[in-house]
Structure 1
Amino acid sequence: MILIGQYDSPFVRRVAVALQLYGMAYEHRPWSVFGDVEQVARYNPLRRVPVLVLDGGEALVDSVSILDHLDEVAGPEQALFPAAGPARRAALRLTAFGTGIADKAVSLVYSRAWHRETAGDWIARCRGQISSVLDHLEAERSALPGPFWFGERIGHGDIALACALRFTAEAHPGVFEAAHWPHLAAHAARCEALPAFSAVVQPLVTPD
């Protein structure tokens, strides 16, 4: 398999962490959607990452579909999403919050890079959305005793949230402050300490 995209993307990184946890071998091509856009376009006409190219040549072009495939390959006992029922819905909800934070944080980076003057109301709205989700998740995490969100075993929700928090902290200093959301900060630090996370770290590179 070939994973396309740089590890400074929270979406590429969440796929890479899952691959590490599953012990699945892959080749990494750290192509940028800016400097290497035509190479990315060969596999994804949307010119977005991550892309996972399977051994047979099929290209999966979204982190959700990629992780769904990897869970299927790993099998129900090892899958990082529960198979069905309330546990699956809860995990999907947490993942949606994590990827939502990441999406807003990435949008703010693009806005800063591409627009000399950005709409203050829109920036405030994005930051407000991030803060509201962080407040909500901080209250939830403070009541959870396990090392991970749903107990002893890490899942895709933990991964998505940790990747989003790291990206947000690096891309937008002051938006995610550990002192303000200490339980989320501790949760992210616990994830980041795992070898699967430390193996796929890249300093943030923002577009000019």
Structure 2
Amino acid sequence: MKLIGMLDSPYVRRVAISLDLYGVDFVHEPLSVFRTFSEFSEINPVVKAPTLVLDDGTVLMDSSLILDYLESLAPADKKLLPQQPATRARDLQLLGLALAACEKSVQIVYEHNLRPAEKLHEPWLERVSGQLLAAYSSLEKQLTDNEPLSQASLTAAVAWSFSQFTVASVVKADAFPNLKRHAERLEEHPAFKRYPIE
């Protein structure tokens, strides 16, 4: 398998870490949707990161869809989502919050980096920042100490690290001590260290 995309994307990084935890052999090709657009488009004309190319040439995209496929292949002892409905619903709730935090962080980054300064739309930035902080406030309350390693907990850590890397002026670390501890703990895991934010 080949994973296409840069590790500065939280979506690419969550797939890379998950592949590692699933024990799946893969090659990481760090192509950028910006700097290497043409090269990326030869693999996936939609140029969406992450892209996963399966051994038979099938091209999958969107981190949640890729991970759904990988979860279906994982043996019971390597699954990252709980099988019991109530526990799974709780993890999916956390996962939704973490993915919302990723999305809102990316929107803020794009607003500042891709739009000319004179065209920045402050009401939009305020709205997105509010949504981002609401997602993290919910995660802060719901994550337990020593949360087990799962798709929800790893995605929450990846999202937090991305936000601190890109929008730390919006997401003040001191306001979310539980999330900060959680991410710091998981960032010490070998799978996280093998696929750091670049």
TM bracket (short chain):
over 0.9
Q: Which has the higher helix share?
A: 2
Instruction: State the Cα distance separating 1:84 from its structure 2 match.
Output: 4.5
- Gaps in structure 2 of 5+ consecutive residues: none
Partner of 1:45: 45
Secondary structure at the aligned position of 1:60 is classed as strand
Equivalent AA in structure 2 for residue 93 of structure 1? Q
Structure 2 residue 110 is matched with structure 1 residue 110: yes
TM-score, normalized by length of structure 1?
0.89
Structure 2 residue 150 is matched with structure 1 residue 155: yes
Partner of 1:78: 78
Secondary structure at the aligned position of 1:179 is classed as helix
Instruction: State the Cα distance separating 1:40 from its structure 2 match.
Output: 2.1
- Gaps in structure 1 of 5+ consecutive residues: 204-208
Check whether the contact 2:33–2:48 (CA below 8 A) recurs between aligned residues.
Answer: yes
**Cα deviations by residue, 1:108-160 (Å, 9 ceiling, x for unpaired):** 1111122112100000111111111212221223xx34x11xxxx31111111
**Cα deviations by residue, 1:75-108 (Å, 9 ceiling, x for unpaired):** 2332101234111111111111111100111111
How does 1:92-171 map onto structure 2 within 5 Å?
A: 92-116=92-116, 117-141=119-143, 144-145=144-145, 147-148=146-147, 153-171=148-166
Structure 2 residue 5 is matched with structure 1 residue 5: yes
Q: For 2:126 and 2:115, how far apart are their aligned partners in 1?
A: 16
TM-score, normalized by length of structure 2?
0.93
Over aligned residues, Cα RMSD in angstroms?
Answer: 1.4
Of 170, 173, 179 in structure 2, the residue corresponding to residue 184 of structure 1 is: 179
Check whether the contact 1:76–1:83 (CA below 8 A) recurs between aligned residues.
Answer: no
Number of aligned pairs? Answer: 196
**Greater alpha carbon shift after TM alignment, 32-41 vs 8-17:** 32-41
